[in-house]
Amino acid sequence: MNRKVFTFLRWTAVALIFFFLGKKVAADWQAVRQYEWKINYFWLVFSLFILLGNFVYLSWVWSEILKIFGKNLKLRKAFRISYLSNLARYLPGRIWQYVSLVAMCEREGISKSTSTASFVLSQLINIPAALLLILISGVLPPLARQGWIQDAIWILGGAVTLGALIVISRPKWTEKTLLWLLRKVEKTEPVVALKKTSLAGIFVSYAFGWFLHGAAFFFFVVAVTSSAENFFPIVGAYVAAYLVGYLSVFTPGGLGVREAVLALILSLYFPDSVAILISTLSRIWVVLGETTGVLVAWKL
């Protein structure tokens, strides 16, 4: 498909998603006006503080992964590389996040094979950690209106848990998977020596990182609605929406997709139109946090 046509279709999809979300809000505008909106600036700043702190924390986790491959990188450089490369997800195609990571690592003397290995390994662990957090948050069962859907959720939960246990408890299998994936993108392979303790530590670290991300969103919700209920479901809702948006290859940075999924889940706890506004405002909140992160990264 022609790149210009693909780009046009991507942004058309984003526009359509926000159009229908906006149409729903307009139809229920009376409910929006009657809702007790109140901005609490303390909780707003607190949520941004957690969000930015989590960016730094996840950079540290990635630097620990690099140590597995024999590379030490100072936290400030790890933050600069991992954070700025992560912003490349807003560009068309998921490849640019990887490309920018490799390019910035090479400037620090880290080979392409090593940076690729760290990226692949982080994805192998990061995504299952997010799925497990979503499952234990309790956000999925309320979405299930029929018994078979609930059964499917538990089956999915068992599969995710089993997959996570295999990744952690069978480091040799994880090594083989990692090397197989590396062969698809690289001709050279780094020396890989994975241990159960290292993999378990990374898995727990990423799960905690997802928890912090969801917690930051919860306090954002508190800041704009004054509602401090349903902590774990709202944490799980944001992680689920973020993950779906991240895995969505059709829209840049999950734009529109994340907001739609988040609005759908939040509608269990807020009026539909209010849930849509919260999810839309959350994008502005994220952009504000990411802009702050960019300013910090460029100074390092």
pLDDT score for 18: 47
pLDDT score for 191: 58
pLDDT score for 209: 95
Reading the block at residue 48, the tokens are 């941004």
pLDDT score for 149: 55
pLDDT score for 96: 72
pLDDT score for 61: 93
pLDDT along the chain (300 residues), means of 10: 50 49 50 62 93 92 88 88 77 70 86 83 86 83 59 65 72 74 62 75 93 96 87 93 78 72 87 84 84 75
pLDDT score for 293: 80
Give the integer Cα–Cα distance in Å for 54 and 30. 37
Q: What is the pTM of this model?
A: 0.79
Give the integer Cα–Cα distance in Å for 277 and 37. 11
pLDDT score for 35: 55
pLDDT score for 11: 45
Give the integer Cα–Cα distance in Å for 150 and 89. 33
Give the integer Cα–Cα distance in Å for 255 and 168. 32
pLDDT score for 249: 65
Cβ-proximal residues to 55 (8 Å cutoff; 6+ apart), any chain: 79, 83, 289, 293
Give the integer Cα–Cα distance in Å for 115 and 119. 6
